[in-house]
Amino acid sequence: MKKMDSEKISNRERIIRYGIIVLSIIGLMICTAVLFPQVRHKIMDFAEQILNKGILSKNSWINTFFSYAMGGIFFILLFDYLTLVKSGRVLAGDVKKEMKECLSEINFRSFLIPVLILLGIYLLGILTIIRANFLYLDDTLRSVEGSRRWFGWSRYVSELSSIFVHGDPKLTEISPLPQLLAIFILSVSSVLLVYIIGNKKITIVRLLASIPLGLSPYFLECLAYKFDAPYMALSILASIIPFLFIARKKAFFFISAVSLLIMCMTYQTSSGVYPMIAVILCFQNWNSHKKSNKEILSWLGMAALAFCCVLLIFRLFLMNYVDPSESYTSTSIHPVSQMLSGILINMKDYASVIYHDFGLIWKIGIALVCIFFIIKSVKSSSRGKTLSFFISISAIVISFILSYGIYILLSDPSIYPRTLFGFGIFLAILCIYVVSDYRKSAIVTVLALNWCFLVFAFSYGNALADQARYAEFRITMLLQDLSNLYPSRDGEMMSTQLKNTVGFAPSVKNISKHYPVIERLVPKRLGEEMNFDNYYYLIHFNVNKMRENIPLVTSIDFNTMDLPVVFDSYYHTIKSDGSHILIILKH
C-alpha cells in the first residue's frame, strides 16, 4: 500500500515537472519572439487597446516590450531553478520553513486592538477630506473616462488591484471606499512599524507616536486622491512587512525581494522606507550592543543587496520606458561623474522645500524630537557616550537622506508633496524610538507634535472644501458668460486658453500664514498651470464645444494673437476671434 502511494506521488511529481518544462519552453519561445522588432511592432497596437490606449508613445512601447521579454526569460529561468534543480528546491524549502517559523513566533491577535485604535485616529484625521468630496488632480479624468493609467508608470499592482477594488475594469467614482481602504492599510503599517522599531512592544503612546506615517502633511495629499490612495498606502505596508522576518536570513531576503517588487509596482516614492528602517534597526542593535559590528554589517549588507537587486530587476525588466516629454518628472539619474554633486544639490533642494513648507511650531517640534533622539541614544548606549553621540546624529542624517528614496539619485526629481511623504515616515520612526521607555518630557513633545499634524488634517480637508466652493463659483460665472457669447453647441470646435489663476479662497490664505505647505496641497482648480484641474471646468461641466489649448504643450500662446476683447467683468476678461478664446482670470 505504501509502495503504491509512493508511486502515485512520484508520478504526480513527474507530471508536474514535465508540465513546468513544457510551459517554460513555450514561455521562452514567446519571450524570444518578442525580442525581434517585427514581432514587437505587430503586438504593439493590440497591447495599446488592451492596456490603456495612448499611454505610451511608439518608441516607449518598443522599449517596454523588449524589457518585458528579457524579464520574462529571467523569471522563467529563476522559477525553473527553484522547482526543477535540486539545489533550488532545497533553497525554496528552506525559505518556506523559515517563513513558517517567523510567522509562528508572531501573535497576530495582539495587533487587532492597536489596528482598531489607529483606524479610528486615521478615520478622524481624514474626516474633513472625505466630507470635502474633492476630485483631486488625476481623479478628474479617472471619474469621467474610467481609465486607470497606472500601467504607464509601471504600477502593475495598482492596475490590477483597482479592478478588484472597483469591481470592474472601468473605474467609477466609489469614494470614500478607496480612502477607507487606504487608512486601514496605514493602520496596519503603523502597528507593524511600532512592533518592529519598539522591540515587539506595542503601547498606546507608541501607537500615537506613529501618527506622522499616515497624517503627515505630505501623505495627506495621497489620501486626498480618491482613486490612488489605497495603492500609495500599500507601497508603505510592502516596505515594512519584510522586517517581520528579520530573524531568519533566507526568509528575510526572499520576502524583501517580493515586497520591494510590490512597492516598485504600486508607488515608487516609498523606496526610502525600507532602507530607513534598516538603518535605524542597525543603529539600535549597535547602540545596545545586542549584536557585534560584524553581525550588524553582515545583516545590513544583505538588506542592501536585496534592495539593490530588486531595483535593478525592476529597472531592467519591469519599468516602462516613458519619454521625458510625456512625463511630469524625469526618471534619468545623474551621470557617475556628477553623482555626488547631484545628490548634494537634491538634498539641499529637499531640505529647503521641507523648511519652507513647515510652520514654526512644526519645526520646533521636529528639532526637539531629534534632540531627544540623540539624548536618549547617548544615555542608553552600551558603547562610548561620545561615539554614541556622533553615531546617533549620523543615523538621523542618513535616515533623512534615505527618506527621499530613489529621488535623491535623479537628475530632475519631483518635489510634489505626495513624493515627499518619506519625511513623515522618517518622523514616525524617530517619534516611536523617542517615546519607547523614555522620559515624560519627550513623550509630551512627540504627542504635541502629532496633535498639530492631526489638527492640520482637519484644516486641510476644510481648505479643499472652501477652495472647491470658491472655484466652482468662478467656473459657473465664466461658463455663464461663455454660453451667452457662444450659445450654439454646434459648429466648429473652439480652443480656449487660460491666463492667471483664480487664486486661493480667503480661508486657504489664512491657513497658509501658519502652514505654508497648504498652498502646495490645495489645487487652485482653475488657472493656467498645467495639471488636470485645467480640464475640470470643461469636462465636468459638460462643455463639449470647447477644448483647452495649453501653451506648454502646443507652443501656441494666445497672448501673442492680439485677440479683441469681447467681454470684461470683475472676475475675468474674455478675448476671442470666434475660434480662439483667451480667458484672463482676475483675483
Residue 169 to residue 163: CA distance in whole angstroms: 5
Q: What is the pLDDT of residues 559-571, one digit of tens each?
A: 888 899 999 999 9
CA atoms within 13 A on the CB side of 36: 7
pLDDT at 50: 54
Provide mean pLDDT across the span 81-97.
90
Residue 436 and residue 206 in contact, taking contact as beta carbons nearer than 8 Å? yes
pTM for the model: 0.92
pLDDT at 131: 96
Residue 357 to residue 361: CA distance in whole angstroms: 12
Predicted confidence (pLDDT) at residue 426 exceeds the cutoff of 50: yes
Using pLDDT thresholds of 50, 70 and 90, give the confidence band for residue 513: very high
For residues 305 and 579, which has the higher predicted lDDT (pLDDT)? 305
Provide mean pLDDT across the span 544-556.
63
Residue 146's SS3 state is coil
Using pLDDT thresholds of 50, 70 and 90, give the confidence band for residue 4: low
Taking the CB of residue 338, how many other CB atoms lie within 10 A of it? 12
> Would you give the distance in Å from CA 295 to the centre of its chain?
32
Predicted confidence (pLDDT) at residue 327 exceeds the cutoff of 60: no
pLDDT at 326: 54
pLDDT at 309: 95
Provide mean pLDDT across the span 307-320.
91
Residue 449 to residue 378: CA distance in whole angstroms: 23
> Would you give the distance in Å from CA 196 to the centre of its chain?
22
For residues 174 and 60, which has the higher predicted lDDT (pLDDT)? 174
**pLDDT > 70 in the chain, percent:** 88
Q: What is the pLDDT of residues 353-406, one digit of tens each?
A: 999 999 999 999 999 999 999 999 999 988 888 999 999 999 999 999 999 999
Using pLDDT thresholds of 50, 70 and 90, give the confidence band for residue 491: low
Q: What is the pLDDT of residues 239-263, one digit of tens each?
A: 999 999 999 999 999 999 999 999 9
pLDDT at 102: 94
Residue whose C-alpha is closest to residue 546's, from 471, 501, 481, 472: 481
Provide mean pLDDT across the span 87-107.
93
Query: Pairing relation of β-strands 546-548 and 494-499?
Result: parallel
Q: What is the arrangement of strands in the sheet containing 580-585, beginning at the earlier edge strand? A: 546-548, 494-499, 580-585, 572-576, 565-568
The mean pLDDT value of the chain amounts to 88
Q: What is the pLDDT of residues 338-357, one digit of tens each?
A: 889 999 999 999 999 999 99
Using pLDDT thresholds of 50, 70 and 90, give the confidence band for residue 552: very low
Beta bridge partners of 496: 548, 581
User: How big is the chain, counted in residues?
Assistant: 587
Which of 98-112, 134-148, 199-213, 462-476 is least confident?
134-148
Domain positions in the chain are: 2-84, 101-438, 461-585
Using pLDDT thresholds of 50, 70 and 90, give the confidence band for residue 55: very low
Provide mean pLDDT across the span 19-38.
80
Beta bridge partners of 135: none
Using pLDDT thresholds of 50, 70 and 90, give the confidence band for residue 555: low
Q: Using alpha carbons only, give the angle 463, 472, 460 rounded to the nearest 5 degrees.
A: 10
Q: What is the pLDDT of residues 162-221, one digit of tens each?
A: 999 999 888 999 999 999 999 999 999 999 999 999 989 999 999 999 999 999 999 999
> Would you give the distance in Å from CA 112 to the centre of its chain?
26
Burial class (CB in 10 A: 0-12, 13-18, 19+), 43: middle
Predicted confidence (pLDDT) at residue 48 exceeds the cutoff of 60: no
Alpha-carbon distances, residue 199 vs 143, 203, 214, 440 (angstroms)? 44, 11, 21, 19
**pLDDT > 90 in the chain, percent:** 62
